[in-house]
Each structure stands twice: as structure tokens, then as C-alpha cells.
Amino acid sequence: MDSTHVPPSDQSRFYEHVEPARGKYLELIKQLMDQKTQDHLDEELARNLCDDMESVLETEETLLDIKVTDDDTLVVVGDVHGQFSDLVAHILSQQYDRPAGSPERKFLFLGDFVDRGPNGVEVIMLLFALKVEYPSMIFLTRGNHEDPQTSRIYGFLFEVKQKFDSIAAWARFNEVFVCLPLAALVVAPQQTIFAAHGGLSPQLTDLQSLRSLARRDYGSSADANLESIVDGLLWSDPTEETDEFEHNDRGCGYVFGVDATKAFCDDNKVDFICRAHQLTSEGYCFTHDDKCLTVFSAPNYCGVNGNKGAIMLVDKDGYKFVQFDSVAKNARTLPMNFGSMFGYFS
């Protein structure tokens, strides 16, 4: 068990022993993993991929149930933010770098696939293609940047317009984003973990209520309870400044304190909360007496922050972290706010 796998020569078969569900996106997966062509920049291909992705997501509840058996390893991933090279080199490579003979790995991505970095298109098309072909192995939840009001400002709209010479693909991607699940309950032999992009809200008390939450209605619903719960799942942050809840300085969601975290964990019988959403210098950070974990998987965020990225591996023995530096130390990033630069975005 000391040897490791290497990427197969045919990278369209991301999983060696899991049959693809459709087979129609294997060539796209290969092209993107090879990082050598731009054949994926085809609007009809993107539209068809979105159609198939939407049909897969319609079968999933708002709260995902992910079971980690004694033979499984689940890779939990925080923000990626268009850093495609790091996604391929450090995150998806966990599938190839596992000990020889061990089962193939599952992945849970906690949102913020796009914006800030230069390759949100490539990130989202590869993750969509993997999800469509391997729906029981790849799990995606929504982040606050999977939203038209955010991604029109922080880079994804501009990137799509540059690459497709049209904003139609951006609009279609956003129609699929609203279908993404909002959280996951990870049940492993050693612990149970509640995972979401942002965090808690005063209105979120019962995990079971998430299963039937009408996630597509977020942003247009008259149901204040729904809006507050989803605001929290996408935008909230832990804090040491209050014990319970206060409104978030981000302008959406809440900051939640240690008492709120402990009460939520106790009431829902989870060991800790795992979330993304915030840069942390080491790629991961525990707060709230180790009841709240932040994982951030975009190293050297925006090309200037010098932070490490990290992922969490969950298996029968518990959990551990893998840290990594950026593949490209001085990677080009998209400007932080296009709204101030182009009248097109006003």
C-alpha cells in the first residue's frame, strides 16, 4: 500500500472502476484535465452540459446525505474561485494520489467555484461534467458567488463574455446554480459533520426542514424565513465578538458566536460544522472550541494573499488536512470589482 496511483493516460476516465452515467462528457473531461485546448469554449456544449446538470440536480434534496463507510475517503473542498490549475493539481489529484488498491475517492465541494480567479469557466464546466458522469461520487453545494448579483460584479460575467463572446452562457450557468443543494450532512464512522458554504442563522434550527426547502425560490420568495436561512447558508461567518447572532457586515447573512454553534451541534447531533467562505492563512482553521471549521482551497488567493490552500479528508479513522501552495505563484487574476471599470456592468 506504499505506492501511489498516477493519472491514467486516458484522463477521460477520472474513475477507473466507476462507470460513467452517460458517457457523453468524457472527451470534455479529458480536454479540460489536459489543459491544452480551448475546444470546451463552445456555447452549445455549455448549454447541453447545463441541461444535463440541471436534470441531475433535480434528483437531489437541498440537504445532501453523504455516508462515509469504512472503505471510503471523502475529500471536502472549500472555495476554488476559478483557480483551475490548483483544482487539477492539488484537489482532483487526490483521486490519483490515493494509496494503491484503496477505493476511489468521493468529493464534496462547498461552493464559490467562480469569480476572482481567471478560469471560472473551466472550473465549472469540469465540475459539472464530473457530476453528470459520476453523480454518486461528486457532490456540489452552492456558494454566495453562484449568484447573478455577485458574479456579475466579481469577474465571472466578464470572463464568460470574453471566452464565449456572449453572456448567454453566463445566464444559463446561473439558472443551474439555483438548483445546487445548499448543505450536506456527512455521516462518517468517527463523526457527523454539517457542511455548508457560509454558516448558521437564527431561523435554521432543524436540519430536517432543509430537505424540502424550496431552494430555487431564494431571492424571489415572500417567505422571510426561507430567505434568512439561505442567506445564512451562503453568507454567514463565525465570530468571537458575540455569543449568539448579529447581522453580518457583509450586508447579507449573520455572524454567529460560539453559543449558537454549540447549540446547533447539540440540537442536531453533529460533531462540528464545516464551512468555507473565508480566507485563512493556513487553508483551514478551527474556531468555537473546535466546533466550527473553515476550509479554504484557493491558495495565494487573487494572486496576492500568500495563503495556503487546504482540503479535508474524512475516512474511517477521522479526518486530516492536506495543505498546498499555488501552482502559479503569480497567477493572473481578474480585477476584484469590474463594476467600477466598465459601464457595461452598471
What's the alpha-carbon Rg for the chain, to the nearest Å?
A: 19
Angle between helices 168-177 and 156-164 (to 10 degrees): 130
- Can you tell me the distance from the alpha carbon of 233 to that of 226, in angstroms, rounded to the nearest whole number? 11
In angstroms, rounded to a whole number, what is the distance separating the alpha carbons of residues 294 and 346? 33
Nearest Cα residue to 275 out of 164, 202, 183: 183
Angle at 26 (CA atoms; ends 20, 30), nearest 5 degrees: 135
Per-residue cell: 210 = 432543509
Q: What angle do CA 130, 136, 142 make, to 5 degrees?
A: 65
Q: Looking at the annotation, which residues are catalytic? A: 145
How far CA 215 is from CA of 59, 63, 75, in Å, comes to: 13, 10, 25
Pairing of strands 183-187, 63-67: parallel
343 SS3 class: helix
C-beta of residue 294 within 8 angstroms of C-beta of residue 280: yes
CA nearest neighbour of 35 among 327, 333, 302, 330:
327
Are the beta carbons of 244 and 230 closer than 8 angstroms? no
Beta pairing class for 284-287 and 292-295: antiparallel
Read off the C-alpha cell for 131: 457530476
84: Cβ contacts below 8 Å, ≥ 6 apart: 35, 117, 118, 119, 122, 123, 126
